Amino acid sequence: MMNRILRSSFAKAVLIGALSSVFYLALLSFFPIFEIQKLKVQDSFFAVRHQWAHPPAVLNDFVLVTVDDESIEKIQEKWPFRRSLYAEFIEKITQAKPRLIAFDLVFSGKGEPLDDLLLVGAIEKSGQVVLASFVDTERNYIPPLKEFVRHAHAGVVNKLLDRDLYVRRATLFYLGERGGVIAWPWEVEILIEILHLSRENQKVDSKSVRFISDGKADFMVPLYDRRGFAVNYRFDLKDVAQVPFWKAIDPRNSADIFNGKIVLVGATSKVAHDYYHTPLGFMPGVVVNMNLLVNLLAKDFLKKVHPILDSVFVFAFIFLASYFAFQHNVLRGLLVLTAASICFLAGFIILFVNRYLGDCFTPLFGGWMSFIGVTFYRSFHTFLENIQLKGKVVTDPLTGLYNRRALESRIEDELEKIARTTGARKTDSFYDLSILMIDIDEFKKVNDTYGHQFGDDVLKNIGFTIKNNTRKDDLVARFGGEEFCVVLPDIGKAEAAQIAEKIRAAVEAKKFSYVNKMASFTVSIGTASAKADHLLGSRGLIRGADQALYTAKRTGKNKVCLHQRENR
């Protein structure tokens, strides 16, 4: 019973899919072998969306002041600029009444005393400045100069790099040795300032960051995973309203563009070495930060598909791929699997549009590998069977056609395939098996009249004619004496009759030469079909075709007769 079940294509595909799913949950979830490949596929979703989707409306609230190559050239100062320039900038922009001014530039350590004094005064006068800090490689928190942070808050601008050095995630808090939050990211500091959230009362756990007021969460940011927040990249530098730093500080230029805006200042010049690889390409660090900040303000949070659901996807696609490989030939399997891959990919795109990120790579990769593996297995299995079959005496020495042993073996194999069909295929006439029993009319007279040598030539030539009028995948065998049998896989009753008539007409039209005389011969043919005639055993199928042949011989010869159930 178990062997019979395991011979089913469906059962084999279920087993392969289930083992792959268990392997995925037990191993790949803990040892991300395909982590980079999975992330690259997810990156493509961001890149495609960026081509057709508009940036979020909240981006219109921002103006980016860029320290670009043009600014470095126009200002004619070495990088980094003296701090008095930033003081001048703050004073000018503050007059335009922006919502906030935030620098993605770290003012750590002391500069020129006068420059530092001017910058402290400008920050104090503005009262709405956020500065940048960072955490070094030894996890030491490096804030701006303490004089600056007396009148401004500072946020960490470190980037969280994946193994391929891409920035896809961000840390939403930095914990001290005792477990408390010692610093917030730059983007969160800006968020706190804009939304007037409380720094004194917040809750941080493995699932979210919450800012609480009066016992209720004023603002909650869900974490993507234990590593932090997944940046939902919506735009790059060219999508952002930007003003070069040199124009912003030029007294001849109006500052009205900054009125009511969130003004961010960051380096976009390659000289600053603040560029990162992202799903949308090579991007300045300040634009990476802007994407995260816009995500927070718009509550545009990415969620992770649960690993169990990912494993279900792995099972489903590998099962389908394996089943297609077992049930179809290579070309048809490729077409069906390609269509299934497109549908599967469309499902992940729908999830992505709804802000869910799942593992699309592993099921697709596993499915195609399963398809290739099963296809090679089937080919190798067929190759071994052919070798085994060739090791036996499977051909008729006179005609070169297959003999009765090969015929019966092939019929058994084809009937077994029919037994495995399910669903619509079970009643589809395309998935039938037909055989033709062919007998040369009056062959005994041929031997008596022309001799056995000529009779042998007739057998060989008629065998060749039959073979020449069948398909490559059909099997033509000499059944015995003057009888031939043709196995027609995937041929229904009506089509079998057409092929039989084609063979009958071809034999009748053939001329044989004997001692300067021309002779011709005819054949009678009986057909039977496994499903159409309910003959699902090899002996019954052969007997059914033989009975139809007997009817053809009895009713006049040189004709085709189909098996009728009442003939049995």
Render each residue's pLDDT in the chain as its tens digit; 568 residues: 444 444 577 888 888 888 888 888 777 666 667 889 999 999 999 999 999 999 999 999 999 999 999 999 998 888 889 999 999 999 999 999 999 999 999 998 898 999 999 999 999 999 999 999 998 878 788 899 999 999 999 999 999 999 999 999 999 988 777 777 788 999 999 999 999 888 778 888 888 888 887 666 678 899 998 768 999 999 999 999 999 999 999 888 888 899 999 999 999 998 888 999 999 999 999 999 999 999 999 999 999 998 889 899 999 999 999 998 888 888 888 999 999 999 999 999 999 999 999 999 999 999 999 999 999 988 888 888 777 666 556 788 899 899 998 899 999 999 988 887 754 444 455 568 999 999 999 888 888 888 888 889 999 999 999 999 999 889 999 999 999 999 999 899 999 999 999 999 999 999 888 767 788 899 999 999 999 899 988 899 999 999 999 999 999 999 999 998 754 4
Q: Closest Cα partner for 130 from 162, 114, 106? A: 106
Sign of the alpha-carbon dihedral angle for 493, 498, 501, 503: negative
| Domains of the chain as residue ranges with CATH | 1-38+304-391 (no CATH), 57-299 (no CATH), 404-562 (3.30.70.270)
Nearest by Cα to 127 from 165, 108, 89, 100? 100
Omega of the bond leading into 144 within 30 degrees of 0 (cis): no
pLDDT tens for 358-369 read 999 999 999 999
Dist CA 6 CA 470 (whole Å): 34
Q: Which of 421, 566, 419, 564 is nearest to 493 (CA)?
A: 564
Side-chain half-sphere CA neighbours of 532 within 13 A: 24
Q: Which of these, 547, 419, 65, lies nearest to 268 by C-alpha position?
A: 65
> Which CA distances in Å does 42 have to 52, 79, 279, 313?
17, 37, 8, 16
Task: Return phi, psi of residue 125, to 5°.
Answer: -65, -40
Partnered with residue 369 across adjacent β-strands are none
Q: Which of 474, 487, 384 is nearest to 435 (CA)?
A: 487
Whether the pTM exceeds 0.75: the reply is: no
208-213, strands of its sheet edge to edge: 202-204, 208-213, 216-222
What is the token pair recorded at 550? 């007997």
pLDDT at 28: 63
Beta pairing, strands 433-440 & 483-489: antiparallel
Residues 6+ apart with CB under 8 A from 484: 401, 436, 437, 438, 439, 462, 463, 466, 476, 477, 478
Encoded tokens for 445: 């007279």
The SS3 of residue 397 is coil
DSSP string, 491-507: --HHHHHHHHHHHHHHH
The whole-angstrom separation of Cα 135 and Cα 158 is 7
* Contact yes or no for 261/248 (Cβ under 8 A): no
* pLDDT value for 181: 78
Q: How far apart are CA 257 and CA 97, in angstroms?
A: 10
